Chains A and B, each alone.
Chain A
């Protein structure tokens, strides 16, 4: 079995040899925009054989756009892609595959019913006389596994395997198809630390074989451990490129964050109100563990952390979607058992989910119906007749509170922009007159103008005495919007920070560089 390229047998220092080698892939001044938003403005990147490149940047910095362009999912608006020095147009994933560029994602796309070997060869099974040659398939699989050091049974059905092993299958699959460039997009976010160690052993072995690896991750300690070189993107531009050995984690953070904050964020009024909600030792094994904190009247409590840190699950536990398995909560000093969302709403809690499309809105309905959905019971009269006129009046009031233009109110919700949709969700929950408002990534995917409006509304609500739990993965936002800040990491609260706080302090805590309470 020939795995391209031929393994390069250098013993220790790869840097010297790989820098001299010609790059496999060169991206030259790549540009790409979505609507009016410039996602990438002139990014250049060279990938050399036998090297691991860390691709860093905040959410929205353009990392995933760059990965999609490399793998043929998106095409650039401008710039050139050179593979082995020849200009190529990667118009679809198949072209990328044929050029030897492959990628693995957080959730591997495997065939659960088929066995390990067939997953490696799916769609391309070796044949002899037009019949599938199983013996050859198992032989090749064992050969590849031996070469890169994986000990999976080629005959085991994949449904038996955990997510880490499925990821190994994806990696082995790309080796079988002769990949020379392998992009790993947040490969460790679903792995335990032991599994991460194993993955790194495999990646090191691939690098020694001359494969060019791109490692996309928010976890900076892992970036330091595995990469040879880092490339930092910020707002769609290439801001830094350094040898990993020469940069510290805090420097990485500074390069990633780097920008000034404008007037995007409202000024917050700080209050020292009485405790409304107290959470004690709340746990749901596998998601969050021993979470304790208090929420005061009129404060905005920021909840920072990386994707997968357990913030959404915690919010869902407080709102009663998926209750915690142990721990207690008190609301106004009385025991509060989050039994169901309905119960939570009746206790004055509202929750704006992360995925407003799936959980927040009925797309086929118009604004007034969506806005008043949470209070339909109150709009109907005693015999159950739905008083449409009352609904429209309520809807107009709410639209005003969330600054939704009158013209937009009557549109089908599906035709509204992301920002206006988010205003509708916000308005819908304000209709319940909540005392506690949990916002999960409330500005995700909405434009800057609307974002400022939404954040302004949140600040106004807090001023009027509503307590807000503000979950956001955007560092700038969460630090500017919180009067107090909790940082979660791997299901635990690892730091409580009082604002103002430097963005890099948050990131360091979230990625595990800094631990302990710095209150």
Chain B
């Protein structure tokens, strides 16, 4: 009997099925995007300060900075790891690169600065990878330890001093205010990171291994995914993006002290998770992290504008995270419920097997009789 003959147009997956299957991934994205638009509209009409150009710029710049670090964090979370040390990495890079690039003048200055930020961040990230891979520490413990270690470094290199905007090269100080084609440099950089990481996650073996490791680590190992190599790569990439965030931090805030980036860890994890990256790994995209950053940045901005006390601001921001995560959990639980189907195998018109009815105890006919 030829089974290929059973393949016919009417049983092939319909466009509707295909559309539904794909759109599931996007549904949480679109919902989040709609929420952001809604909040933006409400704020635009109710808060006079919100719709000023300087506020919009400020909002977008803050968001861009969070987004870049959150994209890196998202990569670790996707692989069922986590990096709690990004804030400290950002702080160290902000100080050292800010100071170091002052010694390099000329056209190569910006290039050297970016390379230094990425490289230093990656090296610190490799330290996390080493603890997780070689010492088999759970990432949450390993990076909690390095958070402390790196914060110590940060205090050490700062040596009680502060770095001011006047001490950094002009290209770096002006990064925040510059614009290409009317769009701020920060936004260009964040957009570039988004596109690059999305491409890596979607189109490279590395990217797919990240998802496989996050989705079912045991099965991934069994299939021959190079877990050790991937662990180092994942943490290095996350560290590099945090380093880049450090570069932007210098320009954004103007002065870098020993506490730079200290609040960043939870903000970026929250951004990734609120944006829809599953804390259990395997599910989410770089775009999720960016949308999450945009939502958090906007909430923060609005709370600042409404001049709520700093304490209430913290609490409300936390509450916003709780609500967003709770809503996501409910939605994703619904989406994840297995869909029971009649059958996914084509039946042949003639050669169907005798059914195995429970109450039937007549002798069975073998399939090839």
Residues of A within 8 A of B (CB): 9, 11-15, 93-94, 109-115, 118, 122-125, 127, 130-132, 134, 146-157, 159-165, 168, 193-202, 204-205, 208, 221-222, 224-228, 244-245, 248, 490, 512-515
B160 at the interface (CB under 8 A from A): no
C-alpha gap A160/B220 in the complex (Å): 20
On chain A, the residues within 8 Å of B3 by CB distance are 147-149, 201, 204-205, 208
Q: Assuming A155-B22, A162-B339, A224-B364, is B211 touching A123 (CB within 8 A)?
A: no
C-alpha gap A66/B366 in the complex (Å): 25
B357 touches A109 (CB 8 A): no
Choose among A110, A113, A227 the residue that contacts B278 (Cβ–Cβ < 8 A). A113
B359 at the interface (CB under 8 A from A): yes
* A387 CB → nearest B CB, Å: 39
A123 touches B224 (CB 8 A): yes
A111 touches B219 (CB 8 A): yes
B204 at the interface (CB under 8 A from A): yes
Residues of B within 8 A of A (CB): 1-4, 6-7, 11-13, 17-18, 21-22, 24-25, 202-205, 207-209, 211-212, 214-216, 218-220, 222-225, 278, 281-283, 335-348, 351-359, 361, 363-369
* B171 CB → nearest A CB, Å: 34
C-alpha gap A155/B14 in the complex (Å): 12
A125 touches B358 (CB 8 A): no
C-alpha gap A11/B5 in the complex (Å): 14
Q: Assuming A151-B11, A168-B345, A228-B366, is B224 touching A162 (CB within 8 A)?
A: no
On chain A, the residues within 8 Å of B223 by CB distance are 122-124
Which residue of chain B has its CB nearest to the CB of A203? B367
Provide 30 A-B residue pairs closer than 8 Å at the C-beta atoms, listed in order of the A residue. Answer: A15-B368, A109-B218, A111-B220, A113-B211, A113-B282, A123-B212, A123-B224, A124-B223, A132-B204, A147-B3, A149-B345, A149-B346, A151-B11, A153-B18, A156-B17, A156-B21, A159-B338, A160-B24, A160-B336, A162-B340, A165-B341, A200-B367, A201-B347, A204-B3, A204-B367, A208-B1, A222-B356, A224-B366, A225-B356, A225-B367
C-alpha gap A113/B332 in the complex (Å): 12
On chain B, the residues within 8 Å of A164 by CB distance are 344
C-alpha gap A490/B278 in the complex (Å): 37
On chain B, the residues within 8 Å of A245 by CB distance are 366, 369
Choose among B219, B335, B337, B339 the residue that contacts A110 (Cβ–Cβ < 8 A). B219
Which residue of chain A has its CB nearest to the CB of B14? A153
C-alpha gap A150/B220 in the complex (Å): 25
On chain A, the residues within 8 Å of B7 by CB distance are 146, 149
C-alpha gap A110/B224 in the complex (Å): 14
On chain A, the residues within 8 Å of B18 by CB distance are 153, 155
A149 touches B340 (CB 8 A): no
The 7 A-B residue pairs with the shortest CB-CB distance, nearest first, are: A123-B223, A113-B282, A205-B3, A156-B21, A198-B345, A111-B215, A113-B215
C-alpha gap A341/B203 in the complex (Å): 52
Q: Assuming A131-B204, A226-B367, is B343 touching A109 (CB within 8 A)?
A: no
A198 touches B368 (CB 8 A): no
C-alpha gap A222/B354 in the complex (Å): 11
Choose among A109, A114, A193 the residue that contacts B211 (Cβ–Cβ < 8 A). A114
C-alpha gap A197/B366 in the complex (Å): 13
Which residue of chain A has its CB nearest to the CB of B359? A515
On chain A, the residues within 8 Å of B202 by CB distance are 132, 134
A112 touches B216 (CB 8 A): yes
Choose among A113, A157, A514 the residue that contacts B361 (Cβ–Cβ < 8 A). A514
Choose among A111, A123, A205, A224 the residue that contacts B282 (Cβ–Cβ < 8 A). A111
Choose among A109, A125, A134, A204 the residue that contacts B205 (Cβ–Cβ < 8 A). A125
Which residue of chain B has its CB nearest to the CB of A513? B361
On chain A, the residues within 8 Å of B344 by CB distance are 150-152, 164-165, 168, 198
Choose among A156, A199, A490, A514 the residue that contacts B358 (Cβ–Cβ < 8 A). A490
A14 touches B368 (CB 8 A): yes
C-alpha gap A149/B8 in the complex (Å): 10
Q: Assuming A193-B357, A225-B367, is B21 touching A157 (CB within 8 A)?
A: yes
C-alpha gap A123/B367 in the complex (Å): 36
On chain B, the residues within 8 Å of A149 by CB distance are 3-4, 6-7, 345-346
Q: Assuming A168-B344, A490-B358, is B204 touching A114 (CB within 8 A)?
A: no
* A441 CB → nearest B CB, Å: 25
